[in-house]
Every structure is written in structure tokens, then in C-alpha cells.
Structure 1
Amino acid sequence: MGGDTGTGHGFTPELRLIDLANAVRATPDLPRAALAALLAAHGERPDDLTERSFSELDAQELRAAVREIADVLTESDTDRAAEALNALLAAHAAPPRLSRHDGHPWHLHTDRGDDAGWGSWFLASSALALARILTEYGRATWGACAAPGCATLFLGTGPGSPRRYCSTTCATRARVAAHRRRGRETT
């Protein structure tokens, strides 16, 4: 299983988290092969994702873990998000350790070792990624899109107002709908 924090070489656990969370929310019983493909797209070795290495039982465990941390991604209150992340870290993380394997550069692992299940590994690495974002920006910069009919999860970063939409498309669609609604109300 891959590293826990970004290495500067394109691996970002927070993007893996968002992609998996949106996929599992859209298709709760996302097939094992689809989960494996998403994990491979985020740097996991194909040899670690065969049916033998990543079984249907492993996929089931991972889907449950994804749903659990997706709940944190819908929490906009920073204090409640921090409490939820602390609970996940207490339940699934171990002391951090540096690891270099399978051609990856040195990176941080916080899971409970090579015997940790896929779900525990995912929760530990994802909670650490979100905790890093929360401490860097001082708030929960993530959420579910506020556009009607869209529940896509997103990560917002940087200073400024908290993000409300998953994309400029959703933001524009919501603004146009509000403008039209106001126009109808004044006539």
C-alpha cells in the first residue's frame, strides 16, 4: 500500500481520498476492479491490486472506510471536523514512520504496519492528509457542493472565503439560477 503524505512527486492522498469518496458515494457497491483501478491511478502498484492481494473482502473493507471518512468531508464545522479526525487517527494510526518501497521515494506512513487492512490504511492516511490541510489553513476547507442536485465532495485550499461549490460550472449554474429566481420574484 502507498504512502501517507504527498511526496512532491505527484502523489497526494487527499486527491485519492476525494476520488474514492466521490466514486463510492455515486456507486455504493463500486466493484472491486473499479476500486483497484482508482487506487492504481493514485500510485498503488498493480501487483498489490490483483484479486489475490486485494480481494472482494478487502474491497468491502475499503468501501466502508471510504464511507466513514466521507462523513468527515461533509463536516464544515472545523471543531467537529478536528474531533472526527482525532477519533480516526486514534483508532487507525500508529506512530509515523518513514518508508521507501516499490520504487517510491521516502514517504510517511501512519498505518499500523504492513499487516494493516486496506480500510485501516486508508483511514489513517486520509485522516492524516485532512489533518494536515486543517492545520495548514486553520479550518476545514472541504465540503459537499452546495449546487442543487450536486453532492460532489471537494477540497478547497488557500486563503479567502470558504469554497461552496465543486467546480466553476456548479457555481455558475447556481448563480444563474438564483439570478433567474430573483427576476421571477420581482415581476
Structure 2
Amino acid sequence: MPEAPHGFRPAERLLDVANAVRQDPELSRAALRALLVRHGERAADLSEAAAAELRAAAARIAGVLAERDADRAAHALNALLAECGARPRLSAHDGHGWHLHVDRGDDAGWGEWFLAASALALAQILTEYGRVPWGECAADGCRVLYLGTGPGPARRYCSAPCASRSRVAAHRRRLRERRS
């Protein structure tokens, strides 16, 4: 069975979709479809109504990704899983190997599928790490959501440039305060 480009990575997919919709809440159907296709999804049937449903679902997942408290994140994920009819089932479709689905079935809409798949991915990550390894970048003016599942301490920034820019700004602020 052919694999999706770079493997099947639902957490990366949910981050990319959530960040794209956060950046442009009216992201076009074509842009959404291209984003899904980049993640190995077959999205030829993405109608305007389905795109609107997917944008709304992505905005809801962005809210969970901005949550830093593990208990609140877990409760939000449980609510999403319950809403989506979370009955785990194995599925092998569109060139993907066997993987878990928790939506209502293969006829679930794009929004429900995205909410259920994203909630499942985040729930698995939360249980694996025992903490919330995601968040919104702490750099001034940056709202990018990130997933920090690598080694080392918990992340606060989406990228090295944002972390550096924040450290430089803090250093300059301290210098100004010493001078005054």
C-alpha cells in the first residue's frame, strides 16, 4: 500500500491545518484541499460546505492547542471525542495502513473527521508525555501553534528564530532598565 508523503502524521496535519486557518479564517477551499493532499488525504470531494465545516473544526482544535493546562486539555479532548461519537475502529483507506479512527464512520463529514482524528492524536500525545507538549508561541506578535515532542524541556516558542528574537528583546529591555 502506498504511504502518504513522509508517512502518516496526524499531529503534523492538525497543526498545519489549525495554523493555516488561524492565519486566514477564510482559507479557500483550494488551499485547504492542497494542505490535506500534502498530508496524504484524498480531498477531491471537499465542497464549499465541507471546507467551512473543516475551518470551524480547525478553529476549535486551535483552542485546544492553545491550552497549556493538562487537566483542561484532557477535558476538552474528552468532550470532542464524545461529541464525535468516539468508538474506536481500525481503518485502512486512501493508501494509509491500518490506523485508528474515532469518527462516526467512513461517511463522517470533513469537520467531524478532523475533530475526531485531531482529538485522538492529541489524546495519544498527552498520555504519552504526561504533560501538554503543545502550545502557542510565546514570542510577541507570533500566534503560531507548535508541537514540542522532542527531547529537552518544554518548549515555549514555535521556532528558533522566535526564541532568539524574544531573548534579544528581553536582553535589550534589561539593558534599558539598567540605564534608567
> Same fold, TM exceeding 0.5?
yes
Q: Percent identity?
A: 69
Aligned-pair CA distance for 1:107: 1.6
The unaligned stretches of length 5 or more in structure 2 are none
1:147 equivalent among 139, 144, 157: 139
1:161 has 2:153 as partner: yes
User: Which residue of structure 2 aligns with residue 11 of structure 1?
Assistant: 8
CA contact (8 A) 2:157 2:163 kept: yes
1:35 has 2:55 as partner: no
Q: Distance in 1 between matches of 2:99 and 2:60?
A: 25
Aligned CA distance change for structure 1 residues 102 and 20 (closer, same or farther; 3 Å): closer
- Secondary structure of the equivalent of 1:154? strand
Q: Distance in 2 between matches of 1:16 and 1:117?
A: 17
Aligned-pair CA distance for 1:54: 1.1
In the TM superposition, what whole-angstrom CA distance separates every residue of 1:93-142 from its partner, at most 9, and x where no partner exists? 43211112233222221111011111110000000000011000101111
CA contact (8 A) 2:13 2:36 kept: yes
Count matched residues: 175
Report the RMSD for the aligned CA atoms in angstroms: 1.4
Aligned CA distance change for structure 1 residues 20 and 102 (closer, same or farther; 3 Å): closer
Counterpart AA for 2:37: A
The unaligned stretches of length 5 or more in structure 1 are 1-6
**Pairs within 5 Å for 1:1-187:** 10-45=7-42, 49-50=43-44, 53-187=45-179
Counterpart AA for 1:126: S
CA contact (8 A) 1:137 1:158 kept: no
CA contact (8 A) 1:137 1:159 kept: no
Counterpart AA for 2:22: R
- Secondary structure of the equivalent of 2:146? strand
Q: Distance in 2 between matches of 1:127 and 1:109?
A: 10
State the TM-score, normalized to the length of structure 2.
Answer: 0.93
Q: Distance in 2 between matches of 1:121 and 1:182?
A: 48
CA contact (8 A) 2:85 2:103 kept: yes
Aligned-pair CA distance for 1:159: 5.0
- Secondary structure of the equivalent of 2:90? strand
Q: Distance in 2 between matches of 1:85 and 1:54?
A: 25
> Which is worse superposed, 88-97 or 137-146?
88-97
Q: Distance in 2 between matches of 1:103 and 1:20?
A: 20
State the TM-score, normalized to the length of structure 1.
Answer: 0.90
Q: Distance in 2 between matches of 1:102 and 1:181?
A: 53
CA contact (8 A) 2:54 2:114 kept: yes
